[in-house]
A and B are shown apart, each in its own frame.
Chain A
Amino acid sequence: MRKHPDIEQKVEDALRSIDGLQPAEAPPHLYTRIRAGLEKPVESNWSWIASVLSKPSVALALSIILIAVNAWIILGNQRNLTDDKNDRVAALAQEYHFDHPYPLEQNVPQP
């Protein structure tokens, strides 16, 4: 497909627009900034960890994980507690023969 001559001209103009470009100059006082950067104390691993943990997104994600783990532990314990309770009730019923009710209790008509 043939391009529009106007567009071709614009493309050529754009490509030539930085011919003979004057180089940009660095800002003044750069050396002072570099010296200040060199004198800055090196950040320790602990401060890096602290800065990561203090980010709102990281803190929120960690809180969600903590809540999820807690919920999982609590729900797991509750299930164990219910099973344990059922076992104790069954043992008690067996001990007192609650599993074989008296005929009177069953409303069976007596002769």
Chain B
Amino acid sequence: MNEPEFIARLQQGDETAFSQLVDGWKDRVFNTALGLIQHHEDAEDITQEVFISVWKSIDEYRADAGIGTWLYRITVSRSLDLMRKKKARKRFAFLKLIWRSEPELEEIPDFIHPGVQLERKQDAAALFAAVRKLPDQQRIAYSLQKVEGLPYTEIALILETTVPAVESLLQRAKQNLRKSLATYYGKNK
């Protein structure tokens, strides 16, 4: 079945088509959210929200991008929203301390992606911690390329930008990661 037909079925409220969409895309949506958020439960919630959002707003789907690109865009957008909320919560955490005796454990501990090889876990934890410090656009581009394994053209479509812009984002991300990791290893010799 081709994509327009599949979209038409979804727009008609076909639950079988929706179930097929979830089965076909759930792992990719979850993996993308996990790479960005670096938190298992939050990534699960985002995956759930993405598909609920797709079901509710399928009529707004524009055929200018494939359904995959649309799903990635929603995942990235939801993950960004959550990241910003978490940052804002962290900024006002001192206010919460007035009302609570114990601080909330918002800080993400060393995140290790389940797909990392055992012998590389320590290095990967340091890398993921450095990725968390990247600016949003660099973090998204880097995560989509390294965690989800997407090509530059697909990342450009998701971010609604050009391939050279994605290349530049990734180059800057790597420079920042090198600096961040060098500082980290310098302190933890």
Contact = CB atoms under 8 A, between A and B. Distances in A.
Interface of A: 3-4, 6-8, 10-11, 13-19, 21-27, 30-31, 33-34, 37-38, 56-57, 60
B19 interface: yes
Contacts of B127: 14-15, 17-18
Contact of B23 (A11, A31, A57): A31
Contacts of A17: 116, 120, 123-124, 127
B174 interface: yes
A3 B182 contact: yes
User: Chain B: interface residue count, which band?
Assistant: 35 or more
Q: Is the interface of B mostly helix, strand, loop or mixed?
A: helix
A4 B22 CA distance: 49
Q: Is the interface of A mostly helix, strand, loop or mixed?
A: helix
Interface of B: 19, 22-23, 26-31, 34, 43-44, 47-49, 51-52, 55-56, 95-96, 99, 113-116, 120, 123-124, 126-127, 130, 146-149, 174, 177-178, 181-182, 185-186, 189
B52 to A, nearest CB: 5
Contacts, number: 105
Contact of B182 (A7, A22, A27): A7
Given A11-B181, A17-B120, A26 B186 contact: no
A45 B39 CA distance: 30
A8 B124 CA distance: 16
